[in-house]
Structure 1
Amino acid sequence: MPKKRSAPTVPKNPLEYTDPKFWHDFHNIRQDFEWYGTLNDHFQVFEKKIKPTDAILNIGCGTSQLEFQLSEKGFHNITNIDVDEDVLKKKRTQAAKLLDSQMVYDCCSADNLPYEDNRFDAVIDKGTMDALLPVESVPENCRVFVNKMLSEIFRVLKNQGHYILVTLAQKQILKELYDFTNNNPNLVVRVVPNEIKQDDKFVSTVVIDIVKFPRSFPSIPNWRLSVENRVVEKTRDEICGILDSFFQLSRFSNMCKKRLEHLVTITLSLNIPEYEDSDVKVTVADTEKHRNTIKTHHFIIVPPDSFDKIYNRSQSVFQSMPSLLKVDRVVILEFPFDDVDIARSFVNNFADHFSSSDCEGRPVIATLSPEENSTTIASGTGEICGGYFVVESICDDKTFRRLYFKSSSNIIQSECTIGKTDSGEVRFNHQELCCNYQSAMVSAFGFVPGGFAEVQSRGWNIAVLGVGGGSLISFLHATLPKATITAVEIEPELFNIAHEYFGMPNDDRVKCVTMDAMEWLKDVNSGVYDMLFIDISNPKEQIDEKHVLYGPPPAFVTEDSIKKMKGHLTSHGCLFMNIISSSKKYLNVIQREVAVLFKYILSATVPELAVNNNYILFATCEKPGKPSTENIPSTLLTYQSLSKTFTQVELGVYKEPKGESKK
């Protein structure tokens, strides 16, 4: 008896998906396969868009049982099309056996539909467009076909009808839909990430619902994103970024179904109204004992550090947790807030994503205890910053000295590591940055023409607006031996703290200016610099209906203020800006303002464990260099790898200055 052939679900060449012959062979062998799940996996989205009385067109039905699953839920007026007549014959026979006489099957191509205008209330496409555009580099005739197909779909669709596309939402799919809807402003799009489970694996499907209106509505955003029953307006790039995170979570979750050989980490957007645009960092540690199954799990919540509570976040501690707790797996979640109830709710909702296939019982949830080796060595009150604390903490045999403001005690304002000399005197390690955002700022040196080696060898003139505990200034002083630095700070007490408790140098290479940074920018006599670092924020102000740190304050990111910053830079000068925000919209606003005056912009996201995020922006009018490891001093080698996190921002709004002489 001949052995039954099995059709490959994934062909060797993805372009085979565009060939009707592949599908003919596939359908002859695989008649029980559902691409992207069943109707039940998506019905919570579908039922909001279609009614049982609707006339529905099912594009590229193949051997999917979608129309019969709809019929079971009371939808009977369904027309199904495919280019394979053999498949349709089998479907007609199946419909007759089910006594579903209203089911229609037509053999035709989606780019030339044989129906009158405004015929259908809904058009459903489960995977057909994905098959037509399987990769970014498809032949041009595939794109032409898809464009004709979309035109035909919206021709036969009634006004206020829905085109419902179940897709993996790859870049080429989104681009085609963006281009088409931009040319047809009467179409309104809602994107709904809809993760499904097949054979204990997570599959990141997306339901895209496009509604046809008789006219365009300028007040309605063309594209919207639906997450957790909330609809929000997003740009194309923002939607792509959110979907990328959505896909990464599914891949990460599938990896966690088996035993892990080492620590794995992912950063997720919380999508919680109180902390929108904030992230949680998830680390999964499995027992080092060789076990085939991972059954027992604990989930550990880690709140943010504060001046009186410091948490040990070292990898060695995380890796040792399964052994200490005598379980197979520990999932550590580092939250940007100390609301344990919200954190527990998040864990309960997502526990399955970080659990193995062999997980037994409900998740055990606990909160990490803070380090006991923390001591407040100084405190006081500044005229501007208010109350402050200087704390020493020991983690992983390292002693950290940290500055906190009482108004935002969960955020480290400045940090350095210290040691002791043989005589017991404090020794500051100024050649190492502890704060993630400062490390990211310094990593942008890789984009300065000549890179890290050039930065260290030349006598740069640098201005830093915002001192804190002086850790960035101390680092620049230690690693750039020929540089001169002007430090500008409105709070006089911070200079005292920086010198006394953080060892900030006080020599002829560092000039300390006690002055409002805005007044310094306005003063043309403040000088001209090769590098300008902006690291300022208000202690706390209400932005986006939240009391959070925000920086730079809005007054510093107007076109006039950016122009003043550029006025203090040489023609080859570089701007480094630390942006703190509870919303990425603020970053987008700043990027657009800076892009008007600076030809090249790069930005990076720095996940900080606070109620907000850090973004680093690098801007210059000279073409950025490409970061290289060649000739990098050992003191800067650590920071070179971080330059890979930067992406170039291209907004097309730069205004070439006319008749401007180079300084």
Structure 2
Amino acid sequence: MALLPRSAREFGSAQYWERFFRQRGPRAFEWYGGYPQLCAALHKYVRPRDKVLVVGCGNSELSEQMYDVGFQDIVNVDISEVVINQMRERNTHKRPKMSYLLMDMLQMDFQDSRFQVVLDKGTLDAILVDEEEATLERVDRMFAEISRVLQVGGRYLCISLAQAHVVKKAVDYFSREGWMVRIHQLSVSEDEVDHQQFVLPVFIYVMTKFKKIPGAVLQILEICTEEKDKPVRVESVEQLVEAVKERQMYAVLRSQLNKSPSTGQVSLDLCDADSGKPRYTLHVVDSPAVKASRDNHFAIFISQKKRRKDKKKQVSSSPEASRPSAGQAVDRSYLCCEHHKAMVAGLALLRNPELLPGAQLSVLVIGLGGGSLPLFIHEYFRQARVETVEIDPAMLEVATRWFGFSQGDRMTVHLSDGLAHVANLAAAEAPAQYNAVMFDVDSKDPSLGMSCPPPAFVEKSFLEKVRTILVPDGVFVLNLVCRDSLLKDSVLATLKEVFPLVYARRIEGEVNEILFSQLHPEGKLAAPELLETARALEMTLRRPGQAWDSSCVLADVLAAVQIV
């Protein structure tokens, strides 16, 4: 006989488990990991003095290991006589205070409120194999018995793979009963990722029994993920189920990337929920040769798909890596992108660096991304007025919610097409004048050899509009990502037709090249003069009491600048 059942329904059959344990013998069968993987979470919710009931104990070593570290008031029940006899024989003398009872957990013999903890390791998953009426009735009887034997304040700990219908059934039932519900994701170390039994993460549902108050509708629903020690409150059962699903999808993605051949880059499409069509592409880049910066372990480049053929799209091409989640503080001194450091360093071309931090500069940034570039300028150039143009409202929402971006008196976001916005500025009766205009916009048209910016942004007619809105001694900063050498030469030639003075700075290890353009060639800085200006600028920016990223040395960034 094969160990696996002929159908999922057999998991709820006493006869199946009798055959299973008879054939398997005394060798332990562990669902969802052993004590070493579970102990960190269990110790949060089980006290050594608690009376613990383990339902559907099987021949797992979990109870034995808990007993050995001090949890000795443990009662184990199972419907298989074979496994109960095996476990009694194994433990009667070694662990005399722990008992194994042949009992159906749907109809237990214990008195009411006997236990402080009921522990379920995979038993609910084995019973709730479908949503047929008979199955749901069995689960209701199981939950009712667990509720009956638990004291008020006691906890039902259910270890589960958290299939959507299982989560929803458990959370629905106990939240209606007025219990506090928390879903705790088990942590998995990086060393365990390759060896874990399941691709999906393991969760523990922590159901805390409160005395039911007639008419009360308050629900306490929380999730505690492996990255966070503190639980996060959610508003509804649906939100809790969705939060679990997001963690499962992330685990599947991580597993697939971990198993993929080491090609250096994997691309994934994120699709619109309604149309099913791709909306974003995630470019996950892995380069073992690159030393990780600070706590960042990977970078994800996000590009937006075109919504209509006649609509030009742009989003930041910057890799916003491993950013803080909502509510966490953002280190605005840290520019994780090397090309952003170069773009900031280019402001040294404005001269008089000792005046810059307090000068009333006007800066226009096309392409918001995570907002780190405009945030840095806003933070360190204290009187600068920063305007950012972003075509996609979703990018503004992401930057605000997850990257600490905010608008204010000196920071404004225009939700508009960058091409149209600049054209409108240039066509005004009195064109706006900016000290710096920065392009950091992306184009993912696979037919082109240039991924940043879209071609229309470097056409001569449009560059002339940029020149119109720039002050005479201002600087135009362009992030160029072009793999086609002929196309790149054409862009540089067009740029020089409009701006007589062009500096170039290649980003080491990347395709990015930052171009700094100015209107007056007679104002060009020789290398020693440019580096000294950059040093002076950095000294004025690094004022006491404000953090500064020590890896950002403006003079070093500009050391490799060449005049085109």
Q: TM-score, normalised by structure 1?
A: 0.45
Q: What's the counterpart of residue 210 of structure 1?
A: 207
Superposition pairs of residues 42-81 of structure 1, within 5 angstroms: 42-81=38-77
Q: What's the counterpart of residue 225 of structure 1?
A: 223
Q: How far apart, CA to CA, are the structure 2 residues paired with 1:494 and 1:221?
A: 58
What CA deviation, in whole Å up to 9, does each residue of 1:145-195 have, x standing for no partner? 11111111010111221111111222112211222123211x222221113
The answer for unaligned runs of 5 or more in structure 2 is 270-281, 304-318, 352-359, 368-372, 399-410, 439-461, 466-564
Shifted more, 469-478 versus 160-169: the winner is 469-478
Distance 1:81 1:101, change over 3 A: same
Q: What's the counterpart of residue 130 of structure 1?
A: 125
Distance 1:248 1:72, change over 3 A: same
Asked if the contact 1:61–1:81 (Cα under 8 Å) also holds between the matched residues in 2, the reply is: yes
Shifted more, 81-90 versus 234-243: the winner is 234-243
Query: How many angstroms does 1:473 deviate by?
Result: 5.8
Distance 1:73 1:220, change over 3 A: farther
Distance 1:231 1:436, change over 3 A: closer
Asked if the contact 1:124–1:165 (Cα under 8 Å) also holds between the matched residues in 2, the reply is: yes
Distance 1:493 1:501, change over 3 A: farther
Superposition pairs of residues 505-524 of structure 1, within 5 angstroms: none
Distance 1:474 1:209, change over 3 A: closer
Q: Which has the larger radius of gyration?
A: 2
What CA deviation, in whole Å up to 9, does each residue of 1:240-297 have, x standing for no partner? 3332332234333333444334523799xxxxxxxxxxxxx9934257xxxxxxxx67
Amino acid at match of 1:161: G
**Structure (1/2) with the larger strand percentage:** 1
Q: How far apart, CA to CA, are the structure 2 residues paired with 1:171 and 1:340?
A: 39
Q: How far apart, CA to CA, are the structure 1 residues paired with 2:57 and 2:290?
A: 43
Q: How far apart, CA to CA, are the structure 1 residues paired with 2:419 and 2:63?
A: 66
Distance 1:238 1:367, change over 3 A: same
Q: How far apart, CA to CA, are the structure 1 residues paired with 2:153 and 2:392?
A: 55
Q: How far apart, CA to CA, are the structure 2 residues paired with 1:342 and 1:13?
A: 55
Q: What's the counterpart of residue 149 of structure 1?
A: 142
Query: How many angstroms does 1:237 deviate by?
Result: 3.6
Superposition pairs of residues 407-422 of structure 1, within 5 angstroms: 407=378, 413-415=387-389
Q: What's the counterpart of residue 82 of structure 1?
A: 78
SS at match of 2:232: strand
Q: How far apart, CA to CA, are the structure 1 residues paired with 2:417 and 2:337?
A: 36
Asked if the contact 1:387–1:406 (Cα under 8 Å) also holds between the matched residues in 2, the reply is: no
Query: How many angstroms does 1:65 deviate by?
Result: 1.4
Asked if the contact 1:302–1:367 (Cα under 8 Å) also holds between the matched residues in 2, the reply is: no
Q: How far apart, CA to CA, are the structure 1 residues paired with 2:75 and 2:362?
A: 70
Superposition pairs of residues 106-185 of structure 1, within 5 angstroms: 106-134=101-129, 137-185=130-178
Query: How many angstroms does 1:312 deviate by?
Result: 12
2:390 aligned with 1:437 = no
The answer for unaligned runs of 5 or more in structure 1 is 268-280, 288-295, 304-310, 316-330, 344-365, 380-385, 394-401, 417-432, 441-466, 479-484, 507-663
Q: What's the counterpart of residue 388 of structure 1?
A: 362
Superposition pairs of residues 523-542 of structure 1, within 5 angstroms: none
Q: How far apart, CA to CA, are the structure 1 residues paired with 2:53 and 2:290?
A: 47
Q: How far apart, CA to CA, are the structure 1 residues paired with 2:262 and 2:141?
A: 47
Asked if the contact 2:388–2:413 (Cα under 8 Å) also holds between the matched residues in 1, the reply is: yes
Q: How far apart, CA to CA, are the structure 2 residues paired with 1:154 and 1:213?
A: 10
Asked if the contact 1:301–1:334 (Cα under 8 Å) also holds between the matched residues in 2, the reply is: no
Distance 1:145 1:219, change over 3 A: closer
Asked if the contact 1:265–1:283 (Cα under 8 Å) also holds between the matched residues in 2, the reply is: yes
Question: 2:20 aligned to 26, 39, 45, which one?
Answer: 26
Amino acid at match of 1:239: L
SS at match of 1:47: helix
Amino acid at match of 2:233: E
Asked if the contact 1:116–1:156 (Cα under 8 Å) also holds between the matched residues in 2, the reply is: yes
Distance 1:213 1:413, change over 3 A: same
Query: How many angstroms does 1:34 deviate by?
Result: 0.9
Amino acid at match of 2:126: A
Query: How many angstroms does 1:434 deviate by?
Result: 7.7
Q: How far apart, CA to CA, are the structure 1 residues paired with 2:212 and 2:248?
A: 34
Amino acid at match of 1:165: C
Shifted more, 210-219 versus 224-233: the winner is 210-219
RMSD of the TM alignment (CA)? 5.3
2:321 aligned with 1:333 = yes
Distance 1:371 1:44, change over 3 A: closer
Amino acid at match of 1:146: V
SS at match of 2:395: helix
Asked if the contact 1:191–1:226 (Cα under 8 Å) also holds between the matched residues in 2, the reply is: yes
Q: How far apart, CA to CA, are the structure 2 residues paired with 1:70 and 1:20?
A: 26
2:11 aligned with 1:17 = yes
Q: What's the counterpart of residue 247 of structure 2?
A: 246
Amino acid at match of 1:132: I
What CA deviation, in whole Å up to 9, does each residue of 1:309-363 have, x standing for no partner? xx99699xxxxxxxxxxxxxxx9835368739999xxxxxxxxxxxxxxxxxxxx
Distance 1:169 1:412, change over 3 A: farther
Amino acid at match of 2:221: W
Asked if the contact 1:224–1:232 (Cα under 8 Å) also holds between the matched residues in 2, the reply is: yes
Asked if the contact 2:362–2:433 (Cα under 8 Å) also holds between the matched residues in 1, the reply is: no
SS at match of 2:116: strand
SS at match of 2:202: strand
Q: How far apart, CA to CA, are the structure 1 residues paired with 2:376 and 2:294?
A: 24
Q: How far apart, CA to CA, are the structure 1 residues paired with 2:429 and 2:293?
A: 39
Q: What's the counterpart of residue 256 of structure 2?
A: 255
% same residue: 20
SS at match of 2:231: strand
Amino acid at match of 1:241: E
Q: How far apart, CA to CA, are the structure 2 residues paired with 1:493 and 1:144?
A: 75
Distance 1:493 1:241, change over 3 A: farther
Q: How far apart, CA to CA, are the structure 1 residues paired with 2:432 and 2:262?
A: 49
Distance 1:12 1:158, change over 3 A: same
Asked if the contact 1:390–1:404 (Cα under 8 Å) also holds between the matched residues in 2, the reply is: no
What CA deviation, in whole Å up to 9, does each residue of 1:509-560 have, x standing for no partner? xxxxxxxxxxxxxxxxxxxxxxxxxxxxxxxxxxxxxxxxxxxxxxxxxxxx
Q: How far apart, CA to CA, are the structure 1 residues paired with 2:9 and 2:380?
A: 55
Distance 1:159 1:469, change over 3 A: closer
Q: How far apart, CA to CA, are the structure 2 residues paired with 1:494 and 1:226?
A: 55
Asked if the contact 1:190–1:225 (Cα under 8 Å) also holds between the matched residues in 2, the reply is: yes
Q: What's the counterpart of residue 101 of structure 1?
A: 96
SS at match of 1:204: coil
Query: How many angstroms does 1:80 deviate by?
Result: 1.4
